[in-house]
Amino acid sequence: EVQLAESGGGLGQPGGSLRLSCAASGFIFTEYEMNWVRQAPGKGLEWVAYINSRGTMVKYAESVKGRFNISRDNAQNSVSLQMNSLRAEDTALYYCAREAAVGATGFFDYWGQGALVTVSS
């Protein structure tokens, strides 16, 4: 059974840092690209970051570029999101999502339950 379990959420100070982790199990982790998607309270989904299966290519939404860093540890079957220079608008539930693909189109076939990040002084 595919499982994704986020951890590391909590209260962060404006300008501060937090690190999220996602532990993956039930599938061959090295065969899949991974993403982080967030959802502000009462709002829609916003894609945050992507990392390829080997960790050699990353992409970021403009709203987090230069502040957030996605990485993965294929030996530990985990993906992380280092969040720096936090802003109030980063407050959201952060989901880890596995990316599957059909041809050139990728989609998110499994999601974790999310980690809540609150940025406030």
Partner 1 sequence: SYVLTQPPSVSVAPGQTARITCGGNNIGSKGVHWYQQKPGQAPLLVVYDNSDRPSGIPERFSGSNPGNTATLTISRVEAGDEADYFCHVWDESSDHVVFGGGTKLTVL
DSSP E strands in 8-114: the ranges are: 10-12, 18-25, 33-39, 45-51, 58-60, 68-73, 78-83, 92-102, 105-111
Q: Which positions from 39 to 58 touch partner 1 by CB under 8 A, shown as an x/- string?
A: -----xxxx--x--------
Look up residue 45 and give its amino acid.
Answer: L
Site size for partner 1 (CB under 8 A): 24
CB of 83 to partner 1, least distance (A): 18
What gap in Å lies between CA 93 and CA 88, rounded to an integer? 13
What gap in Å lies between CA 78 and CA 88, rounded to an integer? 27
Return the number of the residue (108 or 118) whose C-beta is nearest partner 1: 108
Give how far Cα 112 sits from Cα of 8, 16, 32, 89, Å: 13, 25, 15, 22
Return the number of the residue (1 or 75) whose C-beta is nearest partner 1: 1
Return the number of the residue (15 or 52) whose C-beta is nearest partner 1: 52
Return the number of the residue (54 or 65) whose C-beta is nearest partner 1: 65
Contact 66, 54 (CB under 8 A): no
Contact set for partner 1, span 49-108 (CB under 8 A)? 50, 59, 61-62, 95, 100, 102-108
**Residues in contact with partner 1 by the rule CB under 8 A:** 35, 37, 44-47, 50, 59, 61-62, 95, 100, 102-109, 111-114
